[in-house]
């Protein structure tokens, strides 16, 4: 089963790389679906635990929000697909700034590698600004990187399959050797 999954992931990765625009729309749909599913899960959890868990109302409220937002994303796939590169760029900028700020907290705490965090935060923020400069290229790059990731994941599954088979053979040999040693003594 692992090999079949690996082969399917490799095929999906190649399809994503060869069709970046369609991949972006698929990513938008997937995010909408996952947000909707997450909202439903939060709603069910919040309603089932409201009698004995604190803040259940908050879970229900965020569940309702996620359901509505998921439906919005599924019904406005073009808008979401076009917005993904911008959202990604803004996220990089915000995360980069947060890492820069946190790096100084690490410096105050005496962490000698604080400057690595500073450099990484600056680099992430710069990448965010670069991504924002040309959103079309950012969207295509996101799609291609997604495809490459899925392709590599498929290859990893196939390699893992062969590793598992080799491990199973060694376990079987060890069991047989153990049985033979018991039979030899008896």
* Residue range 134-164, pLDDT digits in tens: 999 999 999 999 999 999 999 998 988 887 8
| Assigned domain for 150 exists | yes
For the whole model, what pTM was predicted? 0.67
| Assigned domain for 155 exists | yes
Domain containing residue 44 = 2-178
The whole-number pLDDT of residue 64 equals 95
- The full 3-state SS of the chain, as one line of letters, equals CHHHHHHHHHHHHHHHHHCHHHHHHHHHHHHHHHHHHHHHHHHHHHHHHCCCCCCHHHHHHHHHHHHHHHHHHHHCHHHHHHHHHHHHHHHHHHHHHHHHHHHHHHHHCCCCCHHHHHHHHHHHHHHHHHHHHCHHHHHHHHHHHHHHHHHHHHHHHHHHHHHHHHHHHHHHHHHHHHHHHHHHHC
| Assigned domain for 71 exists | yes
| Assigned domain for 29 exists | yes
Residues of the chain with pLDDT under 70: 184-186
| Assigned domain for 152 exists | yes
- Per residue in 23-33, pLDDT (tens digit) is 999 999 998 99
| Assigned domain for 116 exists | yes
- Count: domains in the chain: 1
């Amino acid at each position: 089963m692992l090999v079949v999954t690996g082969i399917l992931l490799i095929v999906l990765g190649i399809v994503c790389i060869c069709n970046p625009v369609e991949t972006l729309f698929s990513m938008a749909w997937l995010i909408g679906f996952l947000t909707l599913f997450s909202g439903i899960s939060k709603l069910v959890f919040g309603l089932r635990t409201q009698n004995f868990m604190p803040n259940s109302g908050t879970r229900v409220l965020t569940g309702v929000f996620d359901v509505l937002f998921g439906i919005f994303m599924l019904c406005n796939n073009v808008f979401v697909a076009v917005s993904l590169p911008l959202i990604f760029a803004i996220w990089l900028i915000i995360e980069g700034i947060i890492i820069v700020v946190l790096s100084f907290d690490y410096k105050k705490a005496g962490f000698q590698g604080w400057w690595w965090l500073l450099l990484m935060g600056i680099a992430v923020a710069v990448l965010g600004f670069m991504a924002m400069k040309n959103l079309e290229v950012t969207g295509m790059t996101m799609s291609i990187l997604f495809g490459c990731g899925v392709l590599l994941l498929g290859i990893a599954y196939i390699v893992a399959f062969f590793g598992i088979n080799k491990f199973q053979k060694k376990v079987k040999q060890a069991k047989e050797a153990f049985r033979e040693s018991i039979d030899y003594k008896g």
